[in-house]
Amino acid sequence: MPPLVVGFDLDMTLIDTRPGIAAVWDALSAETGVPIDSVAAVSRLGPPLEEELGRWFQAERVEEMGHRFRALYPDLAVTPTEALLGARAAIDSVHRHGGRVVVVTGKYGPNARLHLDHLGLDVDELHGWLWGPAKGEALRQHGATVYVGDHLGDIEGARAANALSVAVPSGPISAEELRAAGADVVLDDLGAFPEWLDGYVLDQRLAALDARLAQLGRVTVAFSGGADSAFLLAAAVRVLGPDNVLAATAVSASLPAAELQDARELAASLGVGHVTAATRELDRPGYAANAGDRCYFCKAELLEVLVPVAAEHGHRHVATGTNADDAAAGFRPGIRAAAERDAVTPLLDAGLTKAQVREASRRLGLRTWDKPAAACLSSRIAYGVSITPARLARVERAEAALRAALRDAGIDVRDVRVRDLDEHASIEVDAGAVRRVLAADGVLAAVRDAGFTSVEVDPRGFRSGAMNELLPDPERFR
């Protein structure tokens, strides 16, 4: 999917230049002796400067006065100018989605740069002295798909770039006039932009997911029953139809029994075929040794088992629920193993993050939309401690006992982990519940009774991938 690029106008979209520009008009009037109504002038911000100059000076003096206006500008207009409410959050929201911000303005470029630097507005590109349709060229140059502005000329610029026009009535044009001029979206103010952008980006990525699934045609989904694979399965069924999709769940000692039952129920609710396939990752020395690359051997086993299952059902592709956050996490040897075995990653291809998967799942009414992360049982065992069926069973038993003890103590938590550090166990729960767990009677004893010699509560709380923190050199396992 192409990267997100959002264009913004500057004056009266990101910054309120009226006080500063009025000061420049007043200074120009004093210098030239020409009466200029600075209040009226700043009420018409948007069109090129020369258009406003033509109201006050004879045509042959417009060019000269334009040069003088721009020369006076840095000393008089920059300091009084402030960012409009919501401007910083709007820019930050683009960067939060991994996007780039391009400011395209009718203002003289060097003066526009002074404003951005003075206010500390973090934009990636700046193009000045462009008005109306001419803005479209700069927007197209950077691949902008959205342009945000306050003026009719900004709508024209968006149209010229074939970009979505998002308008805010913070300048001289009313919301009704912006709609009538053809703005695709009119927001009450820039403060509403981040929420709008969240929805826009999600819709774009879901469309990209649909296109990717349609391209695949028939697919077997590696289905653990977690939020990612559940959403991928539901999306595949919606796009391809249940006859072209198969849910395949790997069954081994590392899969909690409750997860298998959840997977069966969810597949049935979607009306899709569901098969289970035994995997023997524990038979792989690299997996059982539990060095930093354990997940590589797990995914290798998974794909080598599921690819033949997919072929038996006439499917060329096995899809995993890898999302964009997984790929950005850095240390993910399992992703490498899956790629080497030609697994497809539709969620990642569409750029969908974990939060977006959850929101899209909520929209679809999937019960997994807020399901806590449920990594395999082996992820609870410290690297360097060998993985055995007995250890996995002990961890599953300890977590079940811990959840029961927390319920009995009236402590409501979302995430629970029992980390196996050989004979010692470390409990991780939501950070906000740590103190209550430490004070509760019987919680530590419940875990100890599951087979550990000693137990402690991690004061930092639950962290996904906490075991990776103990690796001295994760780079060597990439």
- Alpha-carbon distances of 376 from 35, 131, 353, 395, 465, rounded to whole Å: 77, 56, 20, 11, 11
355 and 237 together in one domain: yes
In a domain, 207, yes or no: no
250 and 362 together in one domain: yes
131 and 277 together in one domain: no
pLDDT at 477: 47
44 and 105 together in one domain: no
In a domain, 296, yes or no: yes
Judge whether residue 474 has pLDDT over 60. Answer: no
Judge whether residue 304 has pLDDT over 70. Answer: yes
pLDDT at 354: 94
pLDDT at 374: 74
pLDDT at 394: 95
181 and 57 together in one domain: no
CATH classification at residue 186: 3.40.50.1000
CATH classification at residue 276: 3.40.50.620
pLDDT band at 468 (very low <50, low <70, confident <90, very high): low
Overall size of the chain counted in residues:
478
> pLDDT for 284-295, tens place per residue?
999 999 988 999
> pLDDT for 158-212, tens place per residue?
999 999 999 999 999 999 999 999 999 999 999 999 999 999 999 999 999 999 9
pLDDT band at 463 (very low <50, low <70, confident <90, very high): confident
258 and 359 together in one domain: yes
Judge whether residue 127 has pLDDT over 90. Answer: yes
Judge whether residue 122 has pLDDT over 70. Answer: yes
- Provide the residue range defining the domain that includes 59: 18-77
Judge whether residue 255 has pLDDT over 70. Answer: yes
Tokens in use for 330? 């850095």
103 and 243 together in one domain: no
Distance CA 418, CA 29 (A): 75
User: Residue with structure tokens 């391209």?
Assistant: 215
pLDDT band at 387 (very low <50, low <70, confident <90, very high): very high
189 and 122 together in one domain: yes
Judge whether residue 254 has pLDDT over 90. Answer: no
177 and 162 together in one domain: yes
* Number of domains making up the chain: 4
In a domain, 26, yes or no: yes
In a domain, 432, yes or no: yes
pTM of the predicted structure, to 2 decimals: 0.85
Residue after which a domain boundary falls, among 371, 400, 430: 371
In a domain, 205, yes or no: no
In a domain, 251, yes or no: yes
pLDDT at 362: 96
pLDDT band at 258 (very low <50, low <70, confident <90, very high): confident
234 and 311 together in one domain: yes
User: Residue with structure tokens 């550990």?
Assistant: 452
Residue after which a domain boundary falls, among 371, 403, 425: 371
Distance CA 406, CA 403 (A): 5
423 and 361 together in one domain: no
Distance CA 282, CA 473 (A): 24
In a domain, 377, yes or no: no
366 and 222 together in one domain: yes
Residue range 42-55: mean pLDDT, rounded: 93
> pLDDT for 309-361, tens place per residue?
999 999 999 999 999 998 886 567 889 999 999 999 999 999 999 999 999 99
CATH classification at residue 50: 1.10.150
- The three-point CA angle 342-346-347 to 5° equals 130
Residue after which a domain boundary falls, among 170, 200, 230: 200
pLDDT at 470: 58
In a domain, 33, yes or no: yes
> pLDDT for 83-104, tens place per residue?
999 999 999 999 999 999 999 9
